[in-house]
Structures are given as C-alpha cells and as structure tokens.
Structure 1
Amino acid sequence: MEQDDPMLVGRIPEQDRHVRLLLDSGRIEESEAAFDDTIASSPNLVGGEWSRPVVIVHRALLAWRLGRVSLALELAADAWTELDAEWRNDASTAHALSMLGYLLEGHSTPALELLARSVRIAREAGDPETLAHCLLREGTTLVARVLVHDVRSERYLVDGLEKFNEAIELTSYGALRRRAMASSARALVELGSIKAAHERVLEALEDARRTDDLFGEALSYWTLAEVHRRREELEESRTAASRALHGAELSKDTLLITRLSTDLGAICKQLGDHVGEATALRRALRASGSTVSVLREGLAQALEQRRIAVHAQRKANAAEAAALRDPLTGLANRLGLERYGPGLIERSASRGCIPWLLLLDVDWFKDVNDRAGHSMGDTALREVAGLLRSECRGDDLLCRWAGDEFVILLVDSTGDGRNAGPAVAERIRAAVDGHDWSQVLGELERLPTVSIGAAAGPERLEDLFTAADVALYRAKHGGRNRVEVNDSERRAPQTVE
C-alpha cells in the first residue's frame, strides 16, 4: 500500500490513515477491525499536532463507508460543533469543512456551500495541499450533480473541471492527483473531449494499479467504460465497467456501486446481454441506491438538528459552569463548592482517604485596597489564586468563598493522610509569604500573607467548614501568617510558624 500519500499524511494520525488505506485497497475485514481499534483506543482524540475536527470528520467518512450511519452522524455532528465553538480561518478548518461537505454530498445545497467556503479559506490560508484537497472535493460534488443526481447542467461540469485541473497543478503524485485525473477525465467525457479524457484516464489508471488503489482504479475504469461506450466499443466498455464495479464493491463506496451497476446494466442492454443486464440490476438493488440517497439526505438534516442540539447543550453547560465559577480568579465560587464539595468528600472517604478542608484568609488585605486601590486588590487576589493552583493538585477543589477568603478541599489524601492537610497548608503559606509582591503591588508597608485553618475527617462539608473556621480564628488571633489545625478526632491544636 502507498504510505506517503499527501492527501493524508500530516492531517490525521497514522492509525486513522492506516484504516483509510486498507479500505481503499479493498481489505474490508482488516479495515473494520482497525477502525474499531482506533475508536476504542482514542475515543476523544485529538490534541497536539492534529486538528480535532479534522480527525473526527475523517472518522465520520470512514464510518459512513463502513455502513455505520449512526456513528458517522455522531462523529460529524461533533466535528461541526467543534468548528462552531472555535472558528479559525486556517488550513485545518478548511480541511474539516471540505470533508463535511463531501459527507453531505447527497444534500446538495449545504454541501456545495460548505465546499465553496472551504476552498475560500484554504486559499486565504496559503496551504497548497489543503487547497488541492478542497478543490478535489468541490469538483467531485459539482460533477456528481450531473452524473449521480441527473441535474443536466454544463455549468457544473465546467466548474468541476476547473477545480480538478487546479488540484492537479497543485500536486505531483499520490491518491489526490490520481483521483483528480480520473474525475477530470470523466468531466471531459461529458463535455465531449473524448481523446483528452482517454489520455488522462489511462495515466490515472496506471498509477492506481501501481499503488494498489482499488478506489482509484474503480474511478478510472468508470471513465474508461464511458470513453469506450462513446466510441461504440461496447465489449471494451462492458469489461471496463465490470472492473470498475468490482473495485467499487471491494472498497465499499455505495453510491459509486449504484451508479456503476446502472451503467453496466445499460451497456449490457445495448449489447443484448440480458443476463448481464439482470445481474447488474440486482447488484444495484443490493447497493440500495434509493435507500442510500434517502439516508444521505436524512443524514444531512439530522446532522444539522444534532449540531444545533449539541451546540445548545454546550452553551447550557458553559452557562452552568460560569455560574459555578468566580469570574475574578477563575476558581470555583461558593455555589461551586456547595455543588461539588459533598461528592468529593464522599468519594475520598469511600476510598479510605482522609478529606481535608483548608479555609484561607488573606492578611492585611484591607491595607492593599486602601493604599493601592481596589484594582490592585483584585490583582492580589488573582495572584493568590495562581499560587493556590501551583501548590495543589488538579483533583483538588479550589474555591473563592467570599472577598479575600478561599476554601481548598483536598481529596484522595493517601499515605500519611493525617499530615496531608497541614503540609499543603504550610506550602501555601510559605509560597504567599515568599512571593515577590513588589512586581504586582509596588512598595507597601504590609505585603499580603495568609492565615489558614485546616480540618480533616469524613464529616459533612458544613461540619468541616465550621471546624476549619475555628482553626482559622485561632490563626488570625495568633498573629496571622500561620496555620492552625482542628481535625475530627479533637487532635491537639498544632501551630506551624
């Protein structure tokens, strides 16, 4: 199999590319198993070097070709929603839009709109490879309006041919060029340029054979069959159409199977081959062409409805998350603590761990507001929030309770759990005390420190908060910038200077 196809390399992970190459080579059982492994191993991909929408919509196309319509719908909707959420006029966005448009080919208006938009974005992004992708898919959809959906318009053929020719100019080898060559030859046939079409399709066919690209062979043989038919070479036309249909069936392109079966049946009828005609029509029936068209039309409509629903749900989730978060510091707010705190305490206790609650108050905060201004006070609170994040784990719940008070809920304290809370509290105290406040607040007589009360035990959130509040009171009245502990076993108070 071809390994360095520019149509795929760099856009999707190797495992996804491998599935596509298996499918294009007609190795269906292997491609199905590889696809299942890919989905199972990375269901929520993707970050890092790949664009998440590109990978998701590519998987939607694979799922569609494998006959998994529901999964194709789900993946395509997720990709579309991702694009809506973080729109960028870059090559990845163009690539994802192009694949979505190709997936919706049967639903012509939105498909053509997406494809044209993807071409515009690819041009602006200045990425030749992506532009070639987008041009090929737009050209394929334009020509399909004539060949598959029986819309008799020369304009679609001319526009499609222009897209194919530009794509050919932008790439020198690989599946993208082969398919652009074969598809452009098919448009040339419909426009009456039989000789030019024949020369072009033979080049594409030779390259497809050399690289074991069954899908590319099917496209090439389809065009070659029509070339022979226009020249009234019906025997050669039937042979080419049969080979095209065989390749399409192996690579599982249902719409191409339906069209080729119909064409083969018409050629057999001209030859008086009624057995061949009947066989071709049965193959068309098996491909369920009309059902597939309805499914694809329904897919487009359901996809849009699902996209809207998912987008609305994400907005609702975002609004809920915003309601639980303090806008100044980005930490959870009081409502967030009340929402998530009890569950975290229960989870920690159920695992045999000791939950700790730290209640923190910023010392001398009134001086900061009075001497430096409230905007500097807000800056100081954001600095404290940043220090809390750096000293706590990702699973811990950090909350701005009110004003200059913060709450930290430490969960899953394993090992020496009895000392986990005081240890974290002391790290926080030392970090705030040693922070370079002059860079933020300038010269103040009293720079911020923190007093912390800590409480442990499997009690309810309210009980832990009350116990920590008592310890905080001792810390404030014991001279500030200190940690006091009050756990559920009435452990003797300890002071950390």
Structure 2
Amino acid sequence: MSEHDYSPLTEHIPSQDQRVRFLVESGQTDEANTLLDAVLERPDPRTGWHRVAMLVNRAIAAWRLDRLTLALELAAEGWTELDAERPEGRTAAHTLGLLGHLIDSMGHRRAALDMLRLSVEVARGTEDDATLAACLQRLGGTLNMLASQEASENAGAVFAESRSLLAEGLSLVEGGRVHRSLLVAHARSLVGVGRLAEAEEECSRALLLAEAADDGWAAATARWVLACSARDRDDLVPARALAAEALDGVERTGDTTLIHRFAEDLADICAGLGDHRGEANALRRGLAASRKVTETLKEAMGQALEQRRLAVQAHRAAVAAREAAARDPLTGLVNRLGLERSAPRLIKRTASKGRVPWLVLVDVDWFKDVNDDAGHAAGDAALREIAQLLRRECRADDLVARWAGDEFVILLVDATENRLDAGPVVAERIRAAVDTHDWRTVLGKTTRPPTVSIGVAAGPSQLDQLFTAADVALYRAKQQGRNRVEVQPPPEDKGFTPRQSLSGS
C-alpha cells in the first residue's frame, strides 16, 4: 500500500502525518510511534479545517497505537476548533468523516452516525467525487457494523441503506484504498441482504487488490466478509479459517472496533462447530481488546480529572493572588488598586438605578503625632481600629478602602437613604464614631486620641471626578479646624443643596 494511498484527500494532511497512518495500517507500530512523536514536536502553521483535519488524523493514529490519552487530547482539541468553523468544502467533509470514524472507534456509534451523515451532506456540496466517495465509504461501513449488531428484523433495512450508499461510492472512484474499502464494505452489505454469490465475487476481487497493495486493513476486512458469507452458507470450517485470519490481520492494525467484532463472529463460528477452545480463545481476544480500551479510557479520564483539578486549583490561586494584590495587608481593606478596579462598575450600577453615587474621603487628623508619641506599632493599631469603625458604620455593599497612609475612601452604592443626605449622614456617623471611640487600650492615656476630617462628594459618574470633588471638600474641612465633615456639591447640579458642613466641635 502506498503511504499516500489511504485517502483521496492528502493536501490538507502533512506528508509525515500521512506516513504515520501508513505505518499504523501496515502494522509497523514501533516506527509509527517514533514518527508520531516526531511530528507532534514540530509546530505546524495550518489553521481552520486544515488544522482540524490534521489533529483528528493524528488522534486516529494515536488511538490505533493504544495511546488513548493522547488520542483524546488531540480529538478534543480538534473538536473544539471544529465548533468554531462552519462545515463547508472538501476538507470539512473529510474531517467530519474522520472524526465520525474516531468517535465510532470510541464506542459512540449513534453520535458517530450523525457526524458521518453530516460529512456526506457537506461532501455532496463540494461536487468532488473523491471526497463524496470517501465519506460514503465511512458511513456505509459504520452502518454495516450497526446492522451486524441489530436485531434480525432491523438488520435488513440497515444493510439495504448501506448497500445503496456504498454502490453510489463505487460509481464515483476507481482504484486506490477508498475503492478497495468500498468494495469490501459493499460486499458486506450484500451478505447482509442475502446476495452471497455477488458478495463473494466482489470480496475476492477486493482481497486480491488489497494483497497486491499491501493493504493489511482491507485484506483483513475482506477475509472477515468472506467468513460471514461462508457462515451464512453454513460452511463453518472455511468460515473459521477465514475469520481467524481476519482477526489476526486486524489485530496488527490496532482497530479495536473491528477486533471486537471479528472476535465475536469467530467465537460464534467456533461454537457452531463445537470448538469450545477456539470459541473461548476468540472471546478472550475480543475481551482483551475491550478491556484495553476501557482501562485506558479510565486512565485518560483520571488524568483529565486531575488536569481539571489542577486547573481549578490554579484558577483559585490566581484569583487569590489578584485579591491579595488588591487588598491592604495592614487593615484588610481594599487598597487603591482594588478601589480603582471595582469603583467604575459600582458607580455605573448605582447610576443605572437612578441613585446618586457618593464618595467619602477620610483623613486622620494629626496622625504623625500619634506615631511620634505612641510609636509606629500603636499607629498601625490605630489605623486597624479606624478601619473597623469604618466597616461598622457602612453597609456590607459599600466599598471601604485604604487609599494611602492615613487616608481612607468609601464609595457608597445603591444608597436607600435620602439621595441628598446619604453621603453626609454616613460621613457624620464615621466622624462621631472615631471621635467618641475609647482609644486608651490602643494609645494609652497620654497620646491625643485621633479624629478624622472628611470630604464628601456626589454626582459625577467617574471615580477621578468624585475623588477630586471630595478632596476639595476634605481640604476645606482641614482648613476649618479638622474633626468635621465638608460636602462638595456637583457643579452641574445647581439644585443640589445638602448640608455644606457638619462639625463635631
């Protein structure tokens, strides 16, 4: 078999990837594994459907080589990219067919049939005979496998549909691997509808072509079809020999779906002959193929679960790092970065509800004296105490932040109080709470207890505008004696007349 012969469409598959499939289907597994590792290490510039086709082709090769975890990763990557692409053109049709074939190998036949039917539909739109023939071959072959497992009353109809599709495919191409595969599959559908003589003639021709081309997969499948026909004729001795050769051949290709099917048929033939040893051996081989897939899938699922756990863990760590970067370690309040990140969203949300966003700017009076008289440790304790007072006087939804040093910012959101008084009222509660707080535990009796000066602003929809206005009010509070609240009305709202100043003196 030529390494370029496995598909009528090769321009979208890198040449080395084509050779991997050739080696797999020729039973040269060591060489195939080595080459697959090599192609996976090299970056490829393909995009769109060409990249999807390459990934799915690699996934099929990995699956045949019993590297199921790799196959699942490649298939998932290809399927993800496929979701973003509209199925159209030769490459799309071929790729859908490849993915349907892979899904069927993984045991999801119904889902595979849906995808294979879509591949045929897309292929018909290309008006390309080779593309359509390949897609018809995959769909017809899968229907044959389904019919082999259907109850007898349903099998005939499924085989008839398959025969019609495969006959159409045979009318489109002559020569090559797809033609050989169509011949074998069409012969199997003929066996299914009872036309045994035609099936045997067609399948014998396909077997000769497969052997001449060194096409191990087609040769093994042709022997299986001949075995099925001999079994239906009740010629069980030649049927057993053909089925045994077919199973030996398909085991070399690593096609677990066919291994399981051929093994079951061989076991049935052996049972009919009273060959219980042969029956048991065939069942063991089929079971071994199924168990290998199941165990590897379990391992792959375990690895996927572990990867998901690590991804969740990494996400949580990243979130925690972002939160830590946005939080003040001394007071536990949001820091300047956190305020700048959150404020635009909160201001917008408040304004969208027809409410006034308020910004309260708090500055500790004479804080340098606190540090000088009581020490920096006591000063830090005082800042933590003020942070707790701010939290106590604000609602849970309000954003309380340490801006810098001894300066704090509070953003009042969704205020339900009178829109003209919400900011000043909260600010006055804060001023009074600090002024009347018992500071002796933190600062002792000799250090002058701290007070706060507060600037309040409302109205503008931008944080920097609110901050500038509140800073003007704060400066006024400092100039007019400290330990007081000053309000800066929005300049565009001439009707805005909250209390202009509140003093604790």
**What range is the shorter-chain TM-score in?**
0.5 to 0.7
The Cα of 1:3 is off from its aligned counterpart by 3.9
Bigger Cα Rg: 2
* Partner SS, residue 11 of structure 2: coil
Corresponding residue for 2:54? Answer: 55
The Cα of 1:48 is off from its aligned counterpart by 7.9
Within 5 Å, give how 1:421-460 maps onto structure 2. none
- Matches of 2:68 and 2:45, distance apart in 1: 22
Corresponding residue for 2:26? Answer: 25
Corresponding residue for 1:134? Answer: 135
Within 5 Å, give how 1:10-159 maps onto structure 2. 10-42=11-43, 45-47=44-46, 51-105=50-104, 106-148=107-149, 152-159=154-161
Q: Please tell me the residue identity of whatever aligns with 1:130.
A: T
The Cα of 1:293 is off from its aligned counterpart by 11
The Cα of 1:292 is off from its aligned counterpart by 4.7
| Aligned partners of 1:132 and 1:170 also within 8 Å | yes
Superposition TM-score, scaled by structure 2 size: 0.56
Of 185, 188, 198, which residue of structure 1 is paired with 2:187?
Answer: 185
The Cα of 1:94 is off from its aligned counterpart by 1.2
Q: Please tell me the residue identity of whatever aligns with 1:126.
A: E
Of 223, 243, 246, which residue of structure 2 is paired with 1:244?
Answer: 246
Could you tell me which runs of 5 or more consecutive residues in structure 2 were left unpaired when the two chains were aligned: 316-505
Say how many residue pairs are matched.
Answer: 303
| Aligned partners of 1:123 and 1:131 also within 8 Å | yes
- Matches of 1:221 and 1:259, distance apart in 2: 13
| Aligned partners of 1:143 and 1:160 also within 8 Å | yes
- Matches of 2:82 and 2:177, distance apart in 1: 27
The Cα of 1:115 is off from its aligned counterpart by 1.2
- Matches of 2:76 and 2:294, distance apart in 1: 19
Of 266, 270, 273, which residue of structure 2 is paired with 1:271?
Answer: 273
The Cα of 1:212 is off from its aligned counterpart by 0.9
Q: Which is worse superposed, 74-83 or 149-158?
A: 149-158
- Matches of 1:149 and 1:72, distance apart in 2: 29
| Aligned partners of 2:49 and 2:85 also within 8 Å | no
- List, as ranges, runs of 4+ consecutive aligned residues in structure 1 with deviation greater than 6 Å: none
Superposition TM-score, scaled by structure 1 size: 0.56
The Cα of 1:109 is off from its aligned counterpart by 3.1
Corresponding residue for 1:335? Answer: none
* Partner SS, residue 7 of structure 1: coil
Within 5 Å, give how 1:96-495 maps onto structure 2. 96-105=95-104, 106-148=107-149, 152-288=154-290, 292=294
Q: Please tell me the residue identity of whatever aligns with 1:98.
A: G
- Matches of 2:49 and 2:257, distance apart in 1: 30
Residues 4 and 188 (structure 1 numbering): CA distance in 2 closer, same or farther, change over 3 Å?
same
* 1:8-39 deviations in Å (ceiling 9; x for gaps): 53231110111111111111111111111111
* Partner SS, residue 125 of structure 1: coil
- Matches of 2:73 and 2:289, distance apart in 1: 23
The Cα of 1:183 is off from its aligned counterpart by 1.1
* 1:181-202 deviations in Å (ceiling 9; x for gaps): 1111111111100011001100
* 1:199-236 deviations in Å (ceiling 9; x for gaps): 11001100110111111111100001111112222221
Residues 289 and 13 (structure 1 numbering): CA distance in 2 closer, same or farther, change over 3 Å?
same
* Partner SS, residue 171 of structure 2: helix
Identical counterparts, % of pairs: 40
Could you tell me which runs of 5 or more consecutive residues in structure 1 were left unpaired when the two chains were aligned: 314-497
* Partner SS, residue 170 of structure 1: coil
The Cα of 1:289 is off from its aligned counterpart by 5.9
- Matches of 1:82 and 1:278, distance apart in 2: 44
| Aligned partners of 2:155 and 2:192 also within 8 Å | no
* Partner SS, residue 141 of structure 1: helix
- Matches of 1:81 and 1:146, distance apart in 2: 31
Q: Please tell me the residue identity of whatever aligns with 2:75.
A: A
| Aligned partners of 1:269 and 1:277 also within 8 Å | yes
Q: Please tell me the residue identity of whatever aligns with 2:79.
A: W
The Cα of 1:272 is off from its aligned counterpart by 2.1
